Amino acid sequence: MTSTASSPASAPKDPWDLPDVSGLVVGVLGGTGDQGRGLAYRLAKAGQKVIIGSRAADRAHAAAAELGLGVEGADNAECARRSDIVIVAVPWDGHAKTLESLRAELAGKLVVDCVNPLGFDKKGAYALKPEEGSAAEQAAALLPESRVAAAFHHLSAVLLQDHSIDEIDTDVMVLGEERADVEIVQALAGRIPGMRGVFAGRLRGAHQVEALVANLISVNRRYKAHAGLRVTDV
């Protein structure tokens, strides 16, 4: 039988039909920092099980205890081992070394890179050009046995960590190679009130997304703001 446009067989998948990720454990490498701590807080507040990672387990335990909400702390290796989704929130300087050292622990995991390779000079922030194209592509190159996605670049750690703010009014661009993995990350972003995860292409497009943070920093400086982004008409 020939299928028609209205038959279920030919109906395109609803792009907002996202998986239930509520049972997945989220680890945050570098979770003692501003961005990691902010994401850990927002995800844990939304009901996600979160493990903060650090180079030193005691720093992770302290950060986790401060957050409460069932957040646990561990060294980065244990954090990676125990998590289903691992967000990379370390500075660009430590990115390659951190991931290389955790290759075994990150094998088979969904790794979500939010690292923005930036430089600063007297003109302000500017995007660096990683040899691999972007931080996310560097992660993919260093972690051949992991599933790498990129997301959470355009968030303000100040707003994420501000407990007086209930909703984070921004979209998150999610990039990756496998639709199923991208949708998991979109769903994770969508757990945070006010936030949407929007598919924004393959990892080869990650440089633009990472680089755009330099522009947002210029916006923030001029307008004394914590700017985010909205993708309109989706």
Ligand X SMILES: NC(=O)c1ccc[n+]([C@@H]2O[C@H](COP(=O)([O-])OP(=O)(O)OC[C@H]3O[C@@H](n4cnc5c(N)ncnc54)[C@H](OP(=O)(O)O)[C@@H]3O)[C@@H](O)[C@H]2O)c1
Using CB under 6 A, list all residues that contact ligand X: 30, 32-36, 54-56, 59, 89-94, 98, 114-116, 153, 155-157
Using the 8-state DSSP alphabet, how is residue 54 labeled?
E
In terms of CB distance, is 94 or 194 closer to ligand X?
94
Q: Which amino acid is at 123?
A: K
Tokens of 207: 């440089």
Are 18 and 186 spatial neighbours (Cβ–Cβ below 8 Å)?
yes
Which of 131, 233 has the CB closer to ligand X?
131
Close Cβ partners of 218 (under 8 Å, ≥ 6 residues apart): 124, 125
Q: Token digits for 203?
A: 């990892």
Least Å from the CB of residue 141 to ligand X: 17
Residue 171 CB, nearest approach to ligand X (Å)? 14
Smaller CB separation from ligand X, 9 or 231: 231
CA distances to 34, 158, 167, 214 from 221, in Å: 18, 14, 23, 11
Q: Scan for tokens 């931080």, then name that residue.
A: 135
Task: Name which of 50 and 233 has its Cβ closer to ligand X.
Answer: 50
* Residue among 158 and 180 whose Cβ is closer to ligand X: 158
Structure tokens at 51: 């493990």
Q: How far is the CB of 64 from ligand X (least distance, A)?
A: 11
Beta strand 49-54 with 25-29 is: parallel
Closest CB 149 distance from ligand X, rounded Å: 14
Between 9 and 38, name the residue whose CB sits nearer to ligand X. 38
Closest distance to ligand X from the beta carbon of 99 (Å): 10
Tokens of 158: 């100040």
Quote the strand ranges of the chain, DSSP E.
Answer: 25-29, 49-54, 72-75, 85-88, 110-113, 118-121, 124-127, 147-150, 170-176, 195-199
Instruction: Supply the minimum distance, in Å, between the C-beta of residue 21 and ligand X.
Output: 20
